[in-house]
Chains A and B, each alone.
Chain A
Amino acid sequence: MGQAIAFYTLAAFILGFAIMVVSTRNTVHSVLFLVLNFLFVAALYVLLGADFLAVIQVLVYAGGIVVLYLFVVMLVNLKRAPEAHEDPHRRTTLGFGLGVAVLLELGVIGAYTSTQVPAPVAANAAMPMAGNTEQVGWLLYTSYLIPFEIASMLLLVAMIGAIVLAKREL
Chain B
Amino acid sequence: MIDRFVIPLVKIAIVLNATLVAVTYMVLLERKVIAWAQSRLGPMRVGPYGILQPVADAVKLMIKEDITPVRADKWVFTAAPIISMVPALIVYAVIPFGPTVTMFGHPVPLYITDINVGLLYVVSVASVGVYGIILAGWASNSKYPLLASLRASAQLISYEVAVTLTLVSVIMMAGTLSMVGIVNAQYNQHIWYVFAQPVAFVLVLIGGLAETNRAPFDLPEAEQELTGGFHTEYSGMRFALFFLAEYANMIVVSSVVTTLFLGGWLPPFPNTAVFHVLYYIPSWMWFFLKSFAFLYLFIWIRATLPRYRYDQLMRLGWKVLIPLAIVNLVITGLVKVVLL
Contact = CB atoms under 8 A, between A and B. Distances in A.
B121 interface: yes
A19 to B, nearest CB: 18
Interface stretch (A60-68, A114-122, A152-160): A60-68
B124 A63 contact: yes
A67 B153 contact: yes
B73 to A, nearest CB: 8
- Measured as residues with beta carbon below 8 angstroms from the partner, the interface class of chain A is 20 to 34
Interface stretch (B54-62, B63-71, B125-133, B266-274): B125-133
A47 interface: no
B127 A63 contact: yes
Contacts of A75: 150
B117 A58 contact: no
Contacts of A71: 134, 150, 153
A29 B177 contact: no
Interface string B134-168: 11001000000010001001000100000000000
B153 A56 contact: no
B5 to A, nearest CB: 15
Contacts of B100: none
B240 interface: no
Interface of B is mostly: helix
Contacts of B146: 74
Interface of A is mostly: helix
Given A62-B128, A67-B131, A70-B134, A133 B117 contact: yes
Nearest to B130: A67
B134 A131 contact: no
A112 B75 CA distance: 44
B12 interface: no
A59 B124 contact: yes
Interface in A4-45: 26, 28-29, 32, 35, 39
Contacts of B120: 52, 55-56, 59
A35 B131 contact: yes
A62 B130 CA distance: 10
A74 B150 CA distance: 9
Given A28-B76, A51-B116, A132-B117, A74 B124 contact: no
Nearest to B119: A55
Contact of A59 (B116, B123, B131, B177): B123
Interface in A131-156: 131-133
B238 to A, nearest CB: 18
B145 to A, nearest CB: 12
Nearest to B123: A59
23 contacts: A26-B73, A28-B73, A28-B135, A28-B138, A32-B76, A52-B116, A52-B120, A55-B117, A55-B124, A56-B124, A59-B120, A59-B123, A59-B124, A63-B126, A63-B127, A64-B127, A67-B153, A70-B134, A131-B116, A132-B116, A132-B117, A133-B117, A133-B177
Interface of A: 26, 28-29, 32, 35, 39, 51-52, 55-56, 58-59, 62-64, 67, 70-71, 74-75, 131-133
